[in-house]
Amino acid sequence: MFIRNAWYVAAWDHEVGRTDLLRRELLGDQVVLYRELDGTTVALEDRCCHRHAPLSKGELVENNIQCPYHGLEFDRTGQCVKVPGQSAIPPEARVRAYPTVERNHWIWIWMGDPALANPDDIEDFHWIDDPDYRARGEVLHLEGNYVLLVENLLDLSHLTFIHRTTLGTSAVADTPMKTEREGDLVRVTRWVMDNTPPPFFQRAGGFAADAHIDRWQIITFTPPGFVRLDVGGAVAGSGAEKGDRSQGFTMRNLNAITPETETTTHYFWAQAHDFRTDEPWLTDMLYENVHTAFMEDLDIIKAQQENILARPDAPRVDINHDGGGLQGRRVIERLVEEEQRADGRQAAE
């Protein structure tokens, strides 16, 4: 089950245009995304109300989308505005429209009751287009349930094992984390003090392989599926833990996780940095390193999902590192439950 009354990322801005209309399954809904002539994004149910053909195989006629099969046209509200061969439009001829907002290079979509959609509630991802930062990202497809990915990001002790050639050192998994809650926000903090940098940190921060650094991972989860990482390292003892990061470097790893189905997920992410922002190759290098690591994550989560499907009722044994992941999962489950209770009340009224 999914939280529906929430803003999700539906697409990167460059994925949505006027020629190749984007069909994407989101929370089990088939959605078509396109732009009006002035660039405004539109998201409609990708299923003509007439004979259910996907509108995404049609084309745009000015600001309307035309069904490929029998030519019905719909405007941005989902209202049918033309039926070939007749002048009257049946009033029930409409498809579902989803509120959208374009922000921080992402197209955001509201999958629940449109009356509740407030753009002020969109999560802050300003680092992606903040002039003080450079960022690069992509969308990946995960063959696994989205909460498995939330858990993955809320416990970076897996860096030691899955990403040993890129991001991990044995010190990560050996260091405990602090977990905090602020309402539905979950924050996990880990400081690995006075330790050697992993290969990626050597490249990003210019540290020698045998240098000693203080390394931080400050991870914030907010529902339905946003995980933002404040990560970096500084010369050991230079005061980073107390707030002075001048002897080190900082990156923001920005993740927006959107369920496709119960067992597949759209994974939007970007890596931002505020140092050496005039060196595009560095932005690319950071992106490439994270990409390599994330492909390792997709691989293990896919295998995890296959094992879960093979024996769905197998018990899970929790360990200390699971503090953040468990909090995140509980927030999601509680919000899903609250929505379903509210829907039940509405249905009963």
Binding residues for a copy of itself, rule: CB under 8 A, are 25, 30, 46-47, 49-54, 57-58, 66-72, 80, 83-86, 90, 92-93, 148, 151, 155, 157-158, 160-162, 173-176, 300, 303-304, 306-308, 310-311, 314-321
Backbone angles phi and psi of 336, in degrees to 5: -60, -45
Mapping DSSP to helix (H, G, I), strand (E, B) and coil, where does residue 162 land? helix
Q: Closest approach of Cβ 49 to a copy of itself, in Å?
A: 4
The CB-of-260 to a copy of itself minimum distance in angstroms stands at 12
**Contacts with 287 (C-beta within 8 Å, 6 or more apart), sequence order:** 136, 137, 138, 271
Nearest residue to 196 (alpha-carbon basis) of 163, 170, 176: 170
CB of 116 to a copy of itself, least distance (A): 23
Rank residues 135 and 153 by Cβ distance to a copy of itself and give the closer one. Answer: 153
Instruction: Pick the closer one to a copy of itself by CB: 54 or 239.
Output: 54
Distance of alpha carbon 212 from the chain centroid: 33
**Judging by DSSP bridges, how do beta strands 185-195 and 178-182 pair with one another?**
antiparallel
Beta carbon nearer to a copy of itself, 80 or 240: 80
User: Of 183, 243, 237, which Cα lies nearest the Cα of 218?
Assistant: 243
Q: Nearer to a copy of itself by C-beta: 160 or 271?
A: 160
- We find the least distance from the C-beta atom of residue 71 to a copy of itself, in angstroms, to be 5
Tokens of 281: 């190759």
Is the Cβ of residue 238 or residue 264 nearer to a copy of itself in the bound state? 264
DSSP state of 157: G
Type of residue found at 212? H
| Smaller CB separation from a copy of itself, 82 or 276 | 82
Q: How far is the CB of 262 from a copy of itself (least distance, A)?
A: 13
Residues 6+ apart with CB under 8 A from 331: 184, 186, 221, 223
For residues 39 and 276, give the distance between their C-alpha atoms in angstroms, rounded to a whole number. 33
How near is the Cβ of 246 to a copy of itself at its closest, in Å? 30
Residue 181: strand, helix, or coil = strand
